[in-house]
Amino acid sequence: MDVTEKTANPFPALRLANVVRTYGPVRAVDGVSFDVAAGEFVALLGPNGAGKSTLFQLLSGLFTADSGLIEVMGHNMSRDPVPALASLGIVFQQPTLDLELTVSHNLRFHAGLHGLPREQANARIARELVRLGLSESANKKTATLSGGNRRRVELARALLHDPKILLMDEATVGLDPASRADLRALLQDLRRERGVAVLWATHLCEEVADADRVVLLNKGQKLRDCSPAELMASTGKPSIEAAFLALTGGERAAA
């Protein structure tokens, strides 16, 4: 599917409008607004402590916003969380697989949580294992897999219920450079093939160069929402990393 193709749904895959989340006096997410369109790859870039993880906790329904609006495929996360969450596939920063179970058992358990009938679940599990190059590992204990392949299993799990948007929260933590690049390439293929929107949270500037847009977050606030090229042009810097450091204050700290 061409990412420019119009969809029947008039809503963006994801919409945030003036979202606020506080912890005592700290505004961890401070009036953040942005949309993610169907098939779009948006990188949420920010230093540690910028509010990325808090924002993902709000998007995944683990916590509720103090104010503002979160919509997934037009469904209000606060008023109508079940269909909103059903449209999301999530890969968290911390691994969440049961390492004592086989790959297939991990996936069957997740399919059961989504209420997928056995026959449909088995077909989708087989489809995703083939797509992600994991068919030969289906009956292996997850503990025996490399870090990169465990992430592939988590991605397969996130795709089983055919979500409209994937939330990837620092998904390359602990992976070697080749595995990080491989995972990003897989996601680029998926969004082109299936029209899945991707929100990719990272603090690594090299992971955002191929994004459609970069939402730059710092101290809970959105500083920029533009293409990687526009991010560099707006600061007059020769690289994404230099622009990132200039906008977040890291340039002065590094001087």
- 84, 59 contact by CB (below 8 A): no
Residue 6's pLDDT is 41
- 204, 195 contact by CB (below 8 A): no
Long-range contacts of 206-210 (CB under 8 A, 24+ apart): 206/240, 206/241, 207/43, 207/172, 207/180, 208/43, 208/45, 208/240, 209/240, 210/41, 210/184
Residue 176's pLDDT is 87
Segment 62-74, tens digit of pLDDT: 999 999 999 999 9
- 88, 36 contact by CB (below 8 A): no
Segment 204-239, tens digit of pLDDT: 999 999 999 999 999 999 999 999 999 999 999 999
1.10.10.60, 3.30.470.20, 3.40.50.300, 3.30.9.10: CATH of 1-87+167-255: 3.40.50.300
Name which of 159, 166, 214, 190 is nearest 56 in CA terms: 166
Residue 254's pLDDT is 37
Domain regions of the chain by residue span: 1-87+167-255, 95-162
Tokens of 251: 């340039």
Name which of 214, 212, 232 is nearest 222 in CA terms: 214
Segment 26-81, tens digit of pLDDT: 999 999 999 999 999 999 999 988 999 999 999 999 999 999 999 999 999 999 99
Per-residue pLDDT averaged across 192-206, rounded? Answer: 93
Segment 92-143, tens digit of pLDDT: 888 889 999 999 999 999 998 888 899 999 999 999 999 899 999 999 999 9
